[in-house]
Amino acid sequence: MTITNFSFPTPIQFGAGARKRVGAHLIEQGCKRPLIVTDKALAALPVLAEFQAHLAGLDVAVFSGVFGNPTCSQVMDGAVAYKAHKADCVIGFGGGAALDVAKIVGVAATHEGDILEYVWDHPQVRAIVHPLPYFVALPTTSGTGSEVGRSSVVSENDTHLKRVVFSPMILAKVVFADPELTFGLPPHITAATGMDALTHNIESYLSPAYHPLCDGIALEGTRIAARALQTAVNEPHNLQARSDMMMASMMGAIAFQKDLGAVHSCAHALGAVCDLHHGLANALMIDTVLDWNYEAVPGKFDELAHACGVAGGGKAFVPWLRELKASIGILGPLTRYGVKAEQLPRLVEIATADICHQTNPRPCTAADFEALFKAAL
């Protein structure tokens, strides 16, 4: 497989072996002391050591303090590590959590105050005014597409509510998208992250916001993910399927510039209250929410069914989606994953307050969220 270079808007080097180009690229940029930001589990695996072997000539340090749903304190700890190493650039290496932290470690390292003061809706939000360290990103999962995003989602330490730092300044300078980095993902992670990518594409397409550019990307991203996800789960070293899922993941992240919907509001609540993996939370809610959304935009469901090769039109799309989930081992109800009925009021509260459902094809009230969560329980 050849490596393809393109920009949209981030320069992307896509293909098997792209990771081997990072060292030479950083040296060309005058960087000498990178800090790799990654997660605790990944740091212990051979994949990180193998990647570091391609960074000859650089003085490398590793910050592996990312775990679970990323938090503001993890960002601040990463900034301490950056300063301690006297780093001059950041390499984000990992899934969505590690990349979200990596994107803003440079902000925290070069600016005053807590990173929470830079979230877009802070009452006295601080501006990013200083130049940021050179930043490159290497995704090791195919889910959030965080590597091409201009936002970083991190949770408050105490409430676990997700907050967003949003700025074009935190975009990676280059993304090295190497599908071989996903070969080691276990099936259940491939499934959960893959459903995250699929959800991003589907929800952005269903959003009533006007953005035909994103609609085109979302439909094609849905088509690619639909054909590749089951193969990627069942055949982890299938390069074509892994490549397709990595591309669909990036396309979903680009497409959801248009906005998302109620599936994500539910998933954010499940992440905050139950600490569920974000991709899994999306997967557990998507069919319930889409079944409820169908009546608002049946024509769009027809288009999704056509893109995925689903016979029977839009009404057959949600049943097909349920079958796809079952085929990759994601089976409800929510209680199977530790969600309790007594958590329902807090789930409804957080989902209702979440901004994503403001662009759902059907308006969502607290009563609607209560009904959706009950249906998924």
| Residue at which a domain ends, from 182, 199, 215 | 182
Residues 151 and 199 in one domain: no
Is residue 377 helix, strand or coil? coil
| Residue at which a domain ends, from 182, 215, 248 | 182
Residues 117 and 231 in one domain: no
pLDDT (tens digit per residue) in 107-131 = 999 999 999 999 988 888 999 999 9
Average pLDDT over the chain, rounded to whole? 96
Q: CA dist 174 to 146, 266, 289, Å? A: 13, 32, 35
Phi, psi for 360 (deg, rounded to 5) = -75, 145
pLDDT given at position 321: 97
Average pLDDT, stretch 60-74? 94
CATH of the domain at 324: 1.20.1090.10
pLDDT reading at 1 higher than 70: no
Q: Are 62 and 49 in contact (CB under 8 A)?
A: no
Domain extent, residue 270, equals: 187-376
Residues 105 and 124 in one domain: yes
Residues 169 and 297 in one domain: no
Q: CA dist 269 to 15, 98, 282, 339, Å? A: 35, 20, 11, 11
Residues 158 and 261 in one domain: no
Number of separate domains in the chain = 2
pLDDT given at position 103: 97
Residues 175 and 246 in one domain: no
pTM above 0.75, yes or no: yes
Residue 114: exposure state from Cβ atoms within 10 A (0-12, 13-18, ≥19): middle
Residues 12 and 137 in one domain: yes
pLDDT given at position 367: 98
Residues 303 and 198 in one domain: yes
pLDDT (tens digit per residue) in 213-231 = 999 999 999 999 999 999 9
CATH of the domain at 175: 3.40.50.1970
pLDDT reading at 244 higher than 90: yes
Q: How far apart are CA 241 and CA 231, in angstroms?
A: 6
| Residue at which a domain ends, from 136, 156, 182 | 182
pLDDT given at position 358: 96
Residues 170 and 207 in one domain: no
pLDDT (tens digit per residue) in 325-377 = 999 999 989 999 999 999 999 999 999 999 999 999 999 999 999 999 999 99
Split at pLDDT 50, 70, 90, the class of 161 is confident
Q: DSSP alpha helices (H): ranges in 96-156?
A: 96-110
